[in-house]
Each structure stands twice: as structure tokens, then as C-alpha cells.
Amino acid sequence: MATEAPGHHRLPNADAAWLHMDRPTNLMVINSVMLFDERMEEERLRETIRRRLVEPYPRFRERVVESRLPLRGPSFEADPLFDLDRHMHRLGLPEPGDETALRELVGDLISTPLDHSKPLWDMYLLERPGGGHALVVRMHHCIADGIALARVMLSLTDAAPEEDGFAPAVVVAAEPAGAAGAAIEATRRLVSGMVHEGMEVLAHPGHARELVDRAAADAQALAKLLFTGADADTALRGELGVSRRVAWTRQLDLARVKATAHAQGATVNDVLLASVSGALRRHLRECGEEPREIRTFVPFNLRPLDAPLPRELGNRFGLVFLALPVDIAGRRERLEELKRRMDAIKRSPEGPISYAILEAVGLTPPQIESRIVDIFTAKASAVMTNVPGPREVVYLAGTPVRAVLVWAPTSGSVGMSVSIFSYRDEVTIGLLVDPGLVPDPQTIMRHSEQELAALSRLKPRG
């Protein structure tokens, strides 16, 4: 039996799945921007990246290589030509250097594939004409999930400008414990047959249903993931192009959002997603459509937030369905229905089950995986994520971070993602779209701000 070559580390199945989802029309890259009002010391930034990112985490100095052997997955190997300068770039923000110019430049960068001949990440330090910097960070999803990468980026920062010398702990994390671990293991057994069936399982539901009938504990959740039909045909779906555009809200007062959530017996995430639902309702009406329920993918984190990150990072999350009640006209009723659906997701085993399915998909040949991804992504029109950041101001290379913007990638036929990030007692909603579907994404973000303000004026729940 062939052994793994020295220095090669085979990608875990889930990471291989995310690697092979890469397409010119949907790049599997997690993108973020840090905004700074002050100018950064570039050499100090470079040294921080070297000591706190490249040295502790091998994936940032390793490239991905595909195996020449059949049914042998890709591996990470040390990049013999690794040079930090090939990953850290410097650009000038075009005049007038305002937010519009930043949105356009970030959109252009996000639309550009990463170079697969080197480790799959890049950073761009943008000089703003009026002073200050913006740092664009691009990391491929096969390296890690959004929660892990947010923690990695946080490990680059300090609580005070003069701190220096922090090094993140590197510990190999264990398998998820408790119910999540049990569900993943049970579903691994359940979907093991699917790997050999390949495309037949998902293309022919009758065949897959036989497997579901033999499953006891998680049959209902598995059936939901496999047999949910395609999402409604709206202005948010269509043939995708290569270009992407980004938009974001102002930095919103998190205390006000919390007060709204408390008054309505909901969570902060419920309120923010309700504001997005209202904004999408308005967008569809502006497109001349009668608003319909929109199904989305929501990442379900399976990584303990209080455990150290493993040095290999990786992906530990599942994807669950959330249908946004865009068809409900009343704001209170829309929020209440959204809360009900979110509460059901929290009690459901869909997250760990979908992770196990993703692992099985990662074992299939890329051509089959691509067709499976097409089937799954037809079930939803958008991705919705919420990543918590630090509550206090942090400093990168001695410079205070004013704001953080995040955009999750989309896969297959999905052309829109909504990413929520909280930092410094403020919260920002970011939107990534195909401009062929949504030519003016900033309008949706303005609608979200207006919907959030309207939700704050609702009378408290009785």
C-alpha cells in the first residue's frame, strides 16, 4: 500500500471538499478588511505576521498539491520557495480614497483567484489618501473555517499599543465531545455507503431514502438536508459571473441592538437577521417581485470556543438551512417567526450531520463532488454568518483597529453572502454579491439599517 510522502500532510476530508469547491465563478476564499485611522509601521506589521501567523501555523507556509494516484486526496507540503513578500502586498487606494473607492477595490481583489502554486493566502496593505491604512486579508477556506480564522487574526493583535511578544498557544484539539461528537460519528457510519454510491445517492432520492430508513436517531435531520428541494426562483438567483461586489453597513451600536432584542424576547442575531430579511423583502419588491421565503445556508460551529486552536487549523462546522421569512409583511411577526426558526436550528442535530456529509463528499472525485455541490447549493440562495469579535479595542502592530469587515464565500450556484461581525461594542453587516444579480448592493445595506431602526421602535413584547 502506498504511503504518504515525507513532508506531505493529507487534507482532512472536509478541508478537501472546500478546496475542490473552488470555481472561477465562486472562489472559496474568506475575505476581511481591517480599517485603521492611523498609518501602520509596515516593517512591524510584517514581523507580526511572520511571528504570529506564519511560524505558529504551518498551513500559512505550505502549498496544496494534488495526488497523481487515483482516489488519493490532496496534501499540504512545505513550499520550497516560501517568501513572505509573495503574500504581503502594498497598494494605493485610488482617488478620492473614499468608501466607494474602497468598496470597488476590495470587490476587485475578492474576484481574483489565489495563486495555487504557493500557500493559499494573501494580504494587501492599502494606503488611504486621507491618512490611515486598510488591511485586506484573503485566506482559502481549505485552511480553516471563519471562526478559526477570526481567532487566528485576533492572535495577531494586542490589547495595548506597546505590547509585543505574544505567541498563540499551539495544541492539537480533540474531536468534538458530547452530543456533537456522537452525532458526527453516527452520521459517518450512516453516510459511509454514500461515498461508494457517489452521485447516485443525491441524484436519486429514492435510493438515498433507503439509507435514511435504516437510520434511527438522526433520520429526520438527514432527510431534511438531502431531500429539501431547490429554493424559490427570485432575483437573487441566476447565472453567476466572475465579478463580485461588496457592501457594508455603518458601524451599528451593539447596545441598541441588544436593547431591541431584549424588548422583543429575541437574540441579537435574531434581530440582525430580521433586519436583513426586511431589507431583502424591500429589494425584491423594488425588482417588481412579490416577496417569497428565501432559504439560506447558516454555518453551525462545532469547535469549542474556549479550547486552543490546533496548529493545523481546519474546518469544524456544518451547514444548516434557515428560511428567511421574507414573505411576512409585519416586522414583529417576521422577527417572531425568525426567532422560532433559529431556536429550532439550535435544537437540531443538522449541524454535526451536515459536517459528516461534507466529510463523505470530500472523499469523492472532484468531478462527482462538483455535481453534488450543484445539487446542494440549488437548495439555497444565500449564506448567512455571524462571527463575534473582541469587545474592546485591539491593536495590530501597535495601531488601533477602528473597524473589521468580513465576507464569507459562497459555493456552487449561490451568489450572495451576508456576514455579521461584532467588534468594540459595534456590529457591522457585510454583503458579498454577484453584480449581475444585485447591481447596487449598498442599497440593501441601507435598507438593513432602516429596518433595524424600525425594529428598535417596536413596542416591547407583552
Could you read off the pLDDT of 54-88 as tens digits, one per residue?
A: 999 999 999 999 877 656 789 999 999 999 999 99
Angle at 289 between CA 287 and CA 293, to 5 degrees: 115
Q: Is the peptide bond before 96 cis (omega within 30 degrees of 0)?
A: yes
Q: What's the mean pLDDT in 329-334?
A: 97
Q: What's the mean pLDDT in 348-364?
A: 81
Look at residue 225 in the predicted model and tell me its pLDDT: 73
In one-letter notation, the amino acid at residue 260 is T
Look at residue 323 in the predicted model and tell me its pLDDT: 96
In one-letter notation, the amino acid at residue 122 is D
Ranking 62-71, 252-261, 433-442 by mean pLDDT, the lowest is 62-71
Q: What's the mean pLDDT in 314-331?
A: 94
- pLDDT at position 118 over 80: yes
Please compute Rg for the chain using Cα positions.
Answer: 22
Rounded to 5 degrees, φ, ψ at 124 are -130, 120
Q: What's the mean pLDDT in 153-175?
A: 65
Between these two residues, 448 and 183, which has the higher pLDDT value?
448
What is d(CA 66, CA 54) in angstroms, rounded to the nearest whole number?
A: 22
Classify domain 182-392+410-456 by CATH number.
Answer: 3.30.559.30
Between these two residues, 211 and 122, which has the higher pLDDT value?
122
Cell numbers found for residue 57: 501555523
Look at residue 139 in the predicted model and tell me its pLDDT: 98
Answer whether 40's CB lies under 8 Å from 133's CB: yes
Look at residue 372 in the predicted model and tell me its pLDDT: 85
Between these two residues, 415 and 163, which has the higher pLDDT value?
415
What is d(CA 298, CA 346) in angstroms, rounded to the nearest whole number?
A: 11
Q: What's the mean pLDDT in 295-317?
A: 89
Look at residue 219 in the predicted model and tell me its pLDDT: 66
Q: Which of 315, 234, 367, 310 is nearest to 28 (CA)?
A: 315
Is 9-158's fold the same as 182-392+410-456's? yes
**Cβ contacts of residue 216 below 8 Å, gap of 6+?**
none
Q: Is 137 exposed, middle or buried (0-12, 13-18, 19+ CB in 10 A)?
A: buried
What is d(CA 91, CA 71) in angstroms, rounded to the nearest whole number?
A: 42
What is d(CA 55, CA 152) in angstroms, rounded to the nearest whole number?
A: 12
Give the model's confidence band at 162: pLDDT under 50 very low, under 70 low, under 90 confident, else very high. confident
β-pairing, 294-301 with 399-400?
Answer: unpaired
Rounded to 5 degrees, φ, ψ at 164 are -160, 135
DSSP secondary structure code for residue 144 in this structure:
B
Rounded to 5 degrees, φ, ψ at 351 are -60, -60
Q: Which of 314, 244, 224, 225 is nearest to 14 (CA)?
A: 314
User: Which CATH homologous superfamily contains domain 9-158?
Assistant: Chloramphenicol acetyltransferase-like domain (3.30.559.10)
- pLDDT at position 194 over 90: no
Ranking 195-209, 389-403, 407-421 by mean pLDDT, the lowest is 195-209
What is d(CA 253, CA 257) in angstroms, rounded to the nearest whole number?
A: 7
A 10 A CB-CB count for 259 gives: 15
Look at residue 173 in the predicted model and tell me its pLDDT: 40
- pLDDT at position 428 over 90: yes
The position carrying cell 478588511 is 33
Give the model's confidence band at 206: pLDDT under 50 very low, under 70 low, under 90 confident, else very high. low
* Domain residue ranges in the chain: 9-158, 182-392+410-456
